[in-house]
Amino acid sequence: MKDLILNPDKFFKEIANKPTNLKVPILIILFASMAISLNSILFIIYLPEPSGMNKYFYLTIMFIALFVMFFLYLSILWLVIAGISHIALIKLFNGVGNFKKMIEVVGYVNIPILVGLSFNIILQILGYWTNTSYKIMDAISTLSFAVICIWEVLLFAKGIQYTYNLSFKKSLIIPIFTFLLIAILNTSSTLSFYGV
């Protein structure tokens, strides 16, 4: 696991030659779901208490509901990204790889999300304790999000490179396209939420 962060080249080279093992990627998705839920709960804490309900009971129910929702969302997204990427790599680049291995790679690519969410949780708690301006914390969070996205794209490309026997440049095309598509979809859903 250390190599995934410090030496992704070595990590994905080894993963490509080992039998597919989805245990760790599933754990990554599980912990990422918990982290997203905790991130969301930190915002809910500041909202007024629902009338007639214990705040801790309410937060526990919200955490469980959010966890289930985010786990399902991330699991479906994980499989969709792996499936579309696999098909595109086989059709466009005549890549040689298998779908199960792509699922494993995409699972490992979620490590930056987990790191970023953990950083964001710490940032929110520090902001609350130090009474730091929301704008400053939001700027730091936005910058860290950009770094996390670049890190994810590079990890994804490394995973593709060794799983599908492609050059690194060709391997970058699918991750860049995937993250641009996700960014566009997230932006359009946010704009429609605000009625823009």
Q: Convert the pLDDT of each residue in 26-36 to its tens digit.
A: 999 999 999 88
What global pTM score does this model have?
A: 0.83
Burial class of residue 76 in the structure, from the number of CB atoms within 10 Å of its CB (0-12 exposed, 13-18 middle, 19+ buried): exposed
pLDDT of residue 101: 92
Measured distance CA(153)–CA(147) in Å, rounded: 10
Q: What's the whole-number mean pLDDT along residues 63-85?
A: 91
Q: What is the chain's mean pLDDT, rounded?
A: 85
Q: What's the whole-number mean pLDDT along residues 64-75?
A: 91
pLDDT of residue 30: 92
Q: Alpha helix locations (H) across the chain?
A: 2-6, 8-17, 23-44, 55-93, 99-108, 111-130, 134-163, 168-193
Alpha carbon 181 to its chain centroid, in Å, reads 14
Q: What confidence tier does 13 reach under pLDDT thresholds 50, 70, 90?
A: very high
Q: What's the whole-number mean pLDDT along residues 137-162?
A: 88
Span 138-148, pLDDT tens digits = 788 788 888 99
Asked if residue 104 lies in contact with residue 82, where contact means CB atoms within 8 angstroms, the answer is no
Q: What's the whole-number mean pLDDT along residues 151-162?
A: 93
Asked if residue 161 lies in contact with residue 174, where contact means CB atoms within 8 angstroms, the answer is no
pLDDT of residue 120: 84
Asked if residue 155 lies in contact with residue 109, where contact means CB atoms within 8 angstroms, the answer is yes
Position 36: which residue type? Answer: I
Residue 109 host element (H or E): none
Q: What confidence tier does 93 reach under pLDDT thresholds 50, 70, 90?
A: confident
pLDDT of residue 68: 92
